[in-house]
Structure 1
């Protein structure tokens, strides 16, 4: 599967412009269309002050996309959905994208027009599409050079693997990581990751496999430690149970240090 339409969520936050640059790079390298959706919490309460800023952002994004030679589309708010929560409006737009970029909510989150603190989690749960969340701190001009896939057997992880194939195919290094709490679990995980590595090889992707025994540390903390140790710039993980984010997924979305792609 190739990404043909990449969606980026824009808003009034400081990191919105950098998020657009990252999306522009992703779209340009894949000859994909870049769709931008500018939306905030409770836009009907801030119509006057938002319109001028939104128009400026639209003009700036269109100019940057034209300079980069990227097919660009600006998606306006749907008037009939204006009173729905931001997560509902953004999820609707994500239905029609191969990949959606959102920002990790920053310190200002929760107070309109800033996004709600749980925006990424809700989009992952409700869109049915891969969501790439960008940390509110750090410099990320390009992602996907060194990719780590955190595997926990189940639907969400399997879906994340499939959704991340276009990114892993271009990576310089791909790591498959699973954690175990005893030798029996470790043996089963090694078998599983070997099958996963064989599957990726059919797509031309060479991956290193690692199963780690852990004790006295949470899965999320252990994973973030390995991300730092290996210099990872993209983490891929299954994001959700049927009706709620998996505990590790919630931790990663709150404490992420690199962009995280999640599917549900």
Structure 2
């Protein structure tokens, strides 16, 4: 298995440019084709049924949406022209409420979907809600690039957040092209006794599986009653120089994470390196 088609959402922002450049470095390493996708967001008209807006107002809004998309497409062309991998561009035209559904459909024709971290200061077509829906519905692994920072390497030093759930197993399988090429892989279990799914030596079974894929792997278990799993994981990532976190998305129900918080939502808000998530 390998990634041969990488789809990247592009918006005309500094973060969008960094996202394309990071994905292109990954595509070069994997000999994959990189497709940048620009969204033309259709204007939404808010008006009374009795008093529709003037045709000139509607035409101006449509013209503005087209010009914004054209500027983004031109900027994307310029960024793609500088990359060393095979590239292409795609335009998606849809209303705001359909962005996640339409992008999920496009993602199903690629091996990997690359998005920016949701909820940044810069305006983006994709908000927190869209990102969560894409994690749950695209059927593809999603690589999220943080708002800030540059990432000259992705996947040389991998940390696997392992809780022995189905979602974590899916993420490991989806990340295998990167795991097999990594210089080092660390399997991290947090408070494994509480989970009751790990056996006598937490992380050993999945580490053995990764080793059979020629990964250079070690295991680490962390325990704390004071810090939550996300804090422990972020601290370990900083200590070990991790450049890619691999984890399952929404091992608990999304509703429970919305109400109580959880690892997925914490990482979406606080990621410091690229994160590959699968559901």
TM above 0.5, one fold? yes
- Per the alignment, do residues 82 and 114 of structure 1 end up closer, same or farther by CA in structure 2, a change over 3 Å counting? closer
User: How many angstroms does 1:43 deviate by?
Assistant: 6.0
| Partners of 1:135 and 1:257 within 8 A in 2 | yes
Q: Does 2:272 correspond to 1:262?
A: no
SS in 1 for 2:25: helix
Aligned residues: 256
Calculate the TM-score normalised by the size of structure 1.
Answer: 0.87
| Partners of 1:41 and 1:115 within 8 A in 2 | no
- Per the alignment, do residues 243 and 126 of structure 1 end up closer, same or farther by CA in structure 2, a change over 3 Å counting? farther
SS in 2 for 1:160: helix
Instruction: Show the counterpart of 1:144.
Output: 155
Instruction: Show the counterpart of 2:18.
Output: 18
Deviation track 1:204-240 (CA, whole Å, cap 9, x = no partner) reads 1121111122111111111111111111111110012
Q: Does 2:217 correspond to 1:207?
A: yes
Q: Does 2:105 correspond to 1:87?
A: no
5+ long unaligned stretches in structure 1: none
User: How many angstroms does 1:244 deviate by?
Assistant: 1.8
- Per the alignment, do residues 220 and 58 of structure 1 end up closer, same or farther by CA in structure 2, a change over 3 Å counting? closer
Instruction: Show the counterpart of 2:27.
Output: 27
| Partners of 1:180 and 1:186 within 8 A in 2 | no
Taking the aligned partners of 1:13 and 1:243, their CA distance within structure 2 comes to 33
- Per the alignment, do residues 12 and 85 of structure 1 end up closer, same or farther by CA in structure 2, a change over 3 Å counting? farther
For the aligned residues, what is the CA RMSD?
Answer: 2.4
Calculate the TM-score normalised by the size of structure 2.
Answer: 0.83
User: How many angstroms does 1:14 deviate by?
Assistant: 2.1
Q: Which structure is larger by alpha-carbon Rg, 1 or 2?
A: 2
Taking the aligned partners of 2:103 and 2:247, their CA distance within structure 1 comes to 21
